């Protein structure tokens, strides 16, 4: 059974809203139990399952705060979407190994999201504009 564009939009928007409120349990509720979560280039590589996703998001929420995601465009296929978005917030921790020191931050993200037949996120691949992040979080003297 194929999901509609609206069903996929609702789930990814719900996922982003939980991320925006640092709600790990909410994020996990949008994910299939055997989810594959892959931030391309992330040192530990892809994670599998809720326990690994929980660990990733707990670390992410310590590093990034006041998260807002604004969609730029979405492309759709059968039970998957490609979402280009702009992330905006602050960096109180050490996002991607860089000293945030509470500085404002914005960067583009590209998500490739595959859904289960019942509408949960089965696989989430994320590409981010690391060059933009590095420009905004240079080392401080």
pTM above 0.75, yes or no: yes
- How many C-beta atoms lie closer than 10 Å to residue 5's C-beta? 10
First to last CA, the chain: 56
The reported pLDDT for the residue numbered 43 is 82
Residue-wise pLDDT tens digits, 13-71: 999 999 999 999 999 999 999 999 999 988 888 999 999 999 999 999 999 999 999 99
Statement: residue 141 has pLDDT above 80? no
The rounded distance, in Å, linking the Cα atoms of 22 and 63 is: 11
Q: Which CATH class is domain 5-92+101-136?
A: alpha beta
Question: What is the predicted pLDDT for the residue at 140?
Answer: 80
Residues 70-110 have pLDDT tens digits of 999 999 999 999 999 999 999 999 998 999 999 999 999 99
| pLDDT of res. 1 | 82
């Amino acid at each position: 059974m194929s999901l509609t564009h609206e069903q996929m939009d609702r789930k990814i928007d719900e996922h982003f809203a939980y991320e925006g409120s640092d709600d790990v349990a909410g994020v996990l509720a949008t994910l299939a139990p055997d989810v594959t979560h892959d931030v391309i280039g992330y040192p530990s590589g892809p994670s599998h399952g809720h326990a690994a996703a929980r660990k990733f998001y707990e670390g992410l929420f310590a590093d990034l705060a006041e998260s807002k995601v604004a969609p730029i465009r979405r492309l759709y296929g059968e039970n998957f979407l490609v979402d280009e978005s702009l992330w905006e917030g602050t960096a109180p921790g050490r996002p991607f190994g860089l000293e945030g020191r509470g500085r404002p931050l914005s960067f583009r993200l590209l998500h490739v999201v595959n859904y289960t037949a019942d509408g949960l996120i089965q696989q989430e691949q994320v590409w981010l504009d690391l060059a933009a992040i590095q420009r905004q979080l240079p080392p401080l003297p």
